Amino acid sequence: MIKFNPKLLLLAAIVLAVSFGGRMAGLAVNPTQQITLAVFAGVISTTLFFWERRVAAAFIGVAILIACHAMTLHTILKATELDIIFFLVGMMIIVGVLKDLGFLTWVIQTIINRRKMNGVSFSLILCVLSAMLASVVDEVSSIVVVLALVFQVCDTLKLRPHPFVLMAVMATNIGSSATMLGNPVGIFIGNKAGFTFAQFLVGATPVAFAALMVTLVLTVIWFRKDIRAMTLAMARHRKMGLGPALKIPYKTGLFILLATVCTIAFHHQIEHALALGGVENHNAFLIMTPLIVAGILMIWRPHRARHYVEKDVEWWTLLFFMLLFAIAGSLNAAGINGEPSITRNLADTLTEHVKGGATAMIPFVLVISSLGSAFVDNIVFVAAFTPVIQNLVAQSETYSILWWALLFGACFGGNITVVGSTANIVASGLLEKHGHEPIKFFDWIKIGAVVGLVTGIVAWILLLVIPRSPAETDRETPAPAIVEPAAELEIPAISPYEQK
Amino acid sequence: MKPEDLHLTNFFSAEDIVPHCGEMSRDEVIRRLVPNDETYKAVIAREELGSTVIRDGLAVPHARVATLSQPKVTIATSERGIVWPGESSAVHIVFLLLIPQNQPALYLQILRALGTALKDDQVLRTVAAMTNSGDIYRFFESGKAYLPRYITAADIMSREFLFLHDTDTLQVCVDTIIKNGVSEIAVLDRDNDLRGIVRAGELLRLCLPEYLLWMDDLSPIANFEPFAEVLANERKTWLREIMVDDFPVVKPDAPAIQVAGEMTRYRSPCCYVREGNKLVGLIRISNFLNKIFRE
C-alpha cells in the first residue's frame, strides 16, 4: 500500500505543471495531448521519486493513453521498439555466457595477478578497463565486473573503495557512449538515426576517448590522497599479492566476444550480401547478430540455456524500456484531427527560438540531456527527445549533428548524480551489499558535476571541430518516426516529413 | 469457538480421571487411559522416542490420532508415584493427550494451559494427593487454564544455544562449527547483545570471491588456491568483519507461524529469538518441525 508521502504532492504538481504548461507553450494543442504530456511527466517523475515503482507507473501510463484515445493498442505495441529489446536480450545472454565461461573472471584475475602496480597505475587500468568493457558489453555488466575488482583489491588492502568506485562508474558511463553496444541509449539513437555500427563508431569513439582522458586526469587529481594511500598499501602488501594467483582459461570467451563484435561491426556488409535492403530491413543484422550468437551459444550449452534466459536477462528493466518507448511514442502521435504531434510542436518551437541553426542548438541539447539524465534514467530523456530531433532533421539535414549531442549529453550527464544512470545505481547497491556505506548524494555530485561539465565541454568542442563526421555524410535513411494517430482507422498514418 | 475461549476442561470430564493409581508401571497406566490397542501402541511408540516427562512429577504422554476430531484428555494420579523409564524421579500426574492429526499446534496450546493450571510443584503434589476424581476435575475447572490463542516463539525455542563474540577469530569460529556440526552461530558483542551471525556458507563465500563464482566450471581453481589466503589470515580475521546481519529474528511473544515465515523467507535453518538486544533463545528448523508435526 502507498503511504502518503510529500513526494506524491510534488509529483502531482509536476504532472499538472507540465500538462498545462505544455498547453500554454503551444506544445499540446488539445486535451488528449495534454493527457499525453501528463502521463509522460508522471512516469518520468516516478522514476525520480519512486524508482521501485517505475514499471507500475509505466503500466498505468500505457493504460491511460489507450483509455484517453491518445494511442491505440496497435500503436502502443508498435512503439515498444521490440528490435532494440531483442538486441539487448541477445547481448545480455552473451554476457551471461562470458561470465559462465570465466572470461570476465579472467579479466579481473589478469589485473590481480599483476605484482608491480601502484595507486596511479591501478586507477588508470581501472578507468580504461571500465570504459573498454562498457563499450563492448554493456554498462551494467561492466560495472559489476570492475567493482568486483575494486572490492577485491580494496578489501585486501583494507582501503575505502568509494573513490575507486566513483572513478570506475564515471569511466563506465563515458565508455558506454563509444559504441552502439555500450548503452541502451546508443543502440536506440543509432537505430533511430539510421547509423551503421561503423558510422556510430567513427562518430562516437573519438569523443568518448577524449572525454575519458580528461576524466582520468580529473579523477586522479581529485582522489590523489586515496590513490597515494593505495600506493603505500600496495607496497606493504607486495609479497602477499592482491588475491589468489590463478590461471583462468579465457580463449573461448574471448573468441565469442570478438566474433560477436566483428559480426556486428560488419552487419552492413552482411545485409548487403544478403540483399536485406530498404527501411523494413534497416540494421537487420545489427539487431539479429546478438540473437544469432545467443542462439548458437544456447545450442552449445543446453543445460544452462534456461539459466541464461531467466537469470541473465534483466526482464524488469527491459519491460520498463518497452513501456517507456511506447509512452514516448505517444508524444510523437499526431492529433486525432490531424494536429501536429507534441514533438513536432516542440521542434518548431526550438527552431523558432534558438537562432543559429544546428550549431547553436548543440550546447542546448547537450545541457538539456545532461541535466535531464542527471536526475532521471537517461533512456527516458533520449526516448522523449528522439522524435524531436527526427522532426528537426526532417526540416534540415544539418540538425543530424544533434544525435551526437543527445548521445553525449545523456551518457556524460549520467555522471552528475548517483541516480544519473543505471550503472550508478547498480554501483551504489553493490557498495551497500558489500557492507560499505553508500556514497552520499552531495559527495557524488561534487565530482560528478565537474566531470559532467568538463566532458560536456569536450563533446561540444569536438562536435564543433568535426561538424560533418563520416557518420553524417554517409548516413542512411533514418528509421521512420512513430506518428500514427489514435484514430488509426479514420485517418491514415502521416510521417512527420509529410505533415508540413 | 475461538481458541482463547477454550478451557482445559473442555477436553475431559470427571469420568476421564483415574485417581490414586498406586504402584502401576508406565505401560499399565497408559493402557488404562487409552481407548484401544492401536492408540496404546501409538502412545508407547512416542514414549520410546523420548520421555514425555516435562517436569518433575508430571508426564504428558501423547499421540496424534487420525480418526479423532476433538482432542481427548485422560488423567491418572498417584500420590506414591509411578516409575517412569529413563526418569530419576517418580511421576505423580499422568496427563494423557490424544490430538487430532489435522491440528498441529493444539498439543503446545494444551501444554501451555496445563502449565498455567499446575503452576508449581506444590500444586502438583496437592492434586496428586486428591482421592476423588470430582475434586480433581473441580480443581482444573476452577483455575484459569485457558488455551492461548496461538503458540509463540517462546513455547518452541531452546534456551541453550551456541554463541561466539565479535572479538573471536575466524579460527575459533571454524573450530566451533566443525566440533558442533552446526551450520551457523550467533555472534554477541561484549555487552552480550546479539550483533549478527556467522554462517558456514558465508565462510565459503569468504574464500571464494564473487568473481570466481561467476564461472560455471571451477576446475581452474581445483587446488583451493583462494582458500590459502583466508587460511593464512584466520587468526587475524575477527568475526565482526565477516558476520552478517540479515538473518531471521523474532520476539519471544511472536506467533510460532511468524518463526516459520522468517525461516522460509531467509531460507535459514535457525530463527533467533531476541528480547530487546539480548538473544534469549534459538529455534532450529528440526526442533520446529518436531514440535509442530510430531510432538
Q: Has residue B18 been placed in a domain?
A: yes
Q: Which residues of B fall within a CB distance of 8 Å from A146?
A: none
Cβ(B166)–Cβ(B195) below 8 Å: yes
Q: Which domain covers residue B130, as residue numbers? A: 3-149
Q: Which residues of A fall within a CB distance of 8 Å from B221?
A: 244, 246
CA distance A4 to chain B (A): 28
**How confident is the model at residue A231, as a pLDDT?**
94
- The single-letter code of the amino acid at A166 is L
Residues B18 and B143 in one domain: yes
Contact with chain B for residue A141, Cβ under 8 A = no
Q: Which residues of B fall within a CB distance of 8 Å from A148?
A: 209-211
SS3 for B21-59, per residue? CCCCCHHHHHHHHCCCHHHHHHHHHHHHHCCCEEECCEE
Q: Has residue B223 been placed in a domain?
A: no
The string of pLDDT tens digits covering residues A471-498 is: 444 444 454 444 444 444 343 333 333 3
Q: Which residues of B fall within a CB distance of 8 Å from A104?
A: 211, 214
**How confident is the model at residue A350, as a pLDDT?**
81
CA distance B206 to chain A (A): 11
Helix %, strand %, coil % of chain A (to 5): 75, 0, 25
Which three-class secondary structure state does DSSP give residue A488? Answer: coil
Chain A CA closest to residue B221: A246
Residues paired with B194 in a beta bridge:
B188
Q: How confident is the model at residue A2 (pLDDT cuts 50, 70, 90)?
A: low
Mean pLDDT of chain B: 88
Q: Which residues of B fall within a CB distance of 8 Å from A109?
A: 211
pLDDT at B16 over 60: yes
* Candidates B214, B228, B229; nearest CB to A105: B214
- The single-letter code of the amino acid at A373 is S
Q: Has residue B222 been placed in a domain?
A: no
CA distance A111 to chain B (A): 13
Cell numbers placing B218: 571451477
pTM: predicted TM-score of the whole model, two decimal places: 0.72
* Candidates A102, A148, A246; nearest CB to B210: A148
Q: How confident is the model at residue B104 (pLDDT cuts 50, 70, 90)?
A: confident
Cα–Cα distance for residue pair A345/A27, rounded to 1 Å: 5
Per the structure, how many domains does chain B have?
A: 2
- Stretch A10-24: mean pLDDT: 91
**Tell me, what CATH number does B141's domain have?**
3.40.930.10
Q: How confident is the model at residue A166 (pLDDT cuts 50, 70, 90)?
A: very high
Asked if A148's CB is within 8 angstroms of B215's CB, the reply is: no
Mean pLDDT of chain A: 86
Cβ(A484)–Cβ(A473) below 8 Å: no
* Candidates A99, A243, A246; nearest CB to B220: A246
Among A104, A143, A246, A307, pick the best mutation site for testing chain B contact (most B Cβ within 10 A). A246
Candidate from A83-87, B80-84, B207-211 with smallest mean pLDDT: B207-211
- Stretch A151-172: mean pLDDT: 93
Residues B31 and B81 in one domain: yes
Q: Has residue B209 been placed in a domain?
A: no
Output b/e per residue, A159-186; b: 16+ Cβ within 10 A: bebbbbbbbbbbbbbbbbbbbbbbbbbb
**How confident is the model at residue A335, as a pLDDT?**
67
Q: Which residues of A fall within a CB distance of 8 Å from B217?
A: 102
pLDDT at B3 over 70: no
- Stretch A204-213: mean pLDDT: 95
Q: Has residue B185 been placed in a domain?
A: yes
**How confident is the model at residue A486, as a pLDDT?**
45
* Candidates A100, A247, A304; nearest CB to B220: A247
**How confident is the model at residue A488, as a pLDDT?**
42
Asked if A152's CB is within 8 angstroms of B215's CB, the reply is: no
Residues B169 and B128 in one domain: no
Asked if B221's CB is within 8 angstroms of A246's CB, the reply is: yes
Asked if B225's CB is within 8 angstroms of A244's CB, the reply is: yes
The string of pLDDT tens digits covering residues A433-471 is: 787 888 888 889 999 999 999 999 999 999 988 755 444
Count CB pairs under 8 A between chains A and B.
47
CB interface of A with B, residues 267-306, below 8 Å: 304
Final residue before a domain boundary, out of B83, B117, B149: B149
Residues B14 and B117 in one domain: yes
Residues B90 and B171 in one domain: no
**How confident is the model at residue A1, as a pLDDT?**
53
| Chain B interface residues (partner A, CB cutoff 8 A) | 209-212, 214-217, 220-221, 225-226, 228-229
CA distance B217 to chain A (A): 7
Q: Has residue B214 been placed in a domain?
A: no
CA distance B236 to chain A (A): 13
Cell numbers placing A453: 561539465
Final residue before a domain boundary, out of B149, B171, B191: B149
Q: Which residues of A fall within a CB distance of 8 Å from B220?
A: 102, 246-249
Contact with chain B for residue A246, Cβ under 8 A = yes
The string of pLDDT tens digits covering residues A306-325 is: 999 998 898 988 898 899 88
**How confident is the model at residue A381, as a pLDDT?**
80
B276: left (phi over 0), alpha (psi -120 to 50) or beta: left
Contact with chain B for residue A108, Cβ under 8 A = yes
Cα–Cα distance for residue pair A296/A62, rounded to 1 Å: 35
**How confident is the model at residue B148, as a pLDDT?**
87
Residues B124 and B21 in one domain: yes
Q: Has residue B8 been placed in a domain?
A: yes
The string of pLDDT tens digits covering residues B47-66 is: 888 888 988 899 999 998 88
Residues B136 and B176 in one domain: no
**How confident is the model at residue B202, as a pLDDT?**
83
Among A95, A100, A103, A105, pick the best mutation site for testing chain B contact (most B Cβ within 10 A). A105
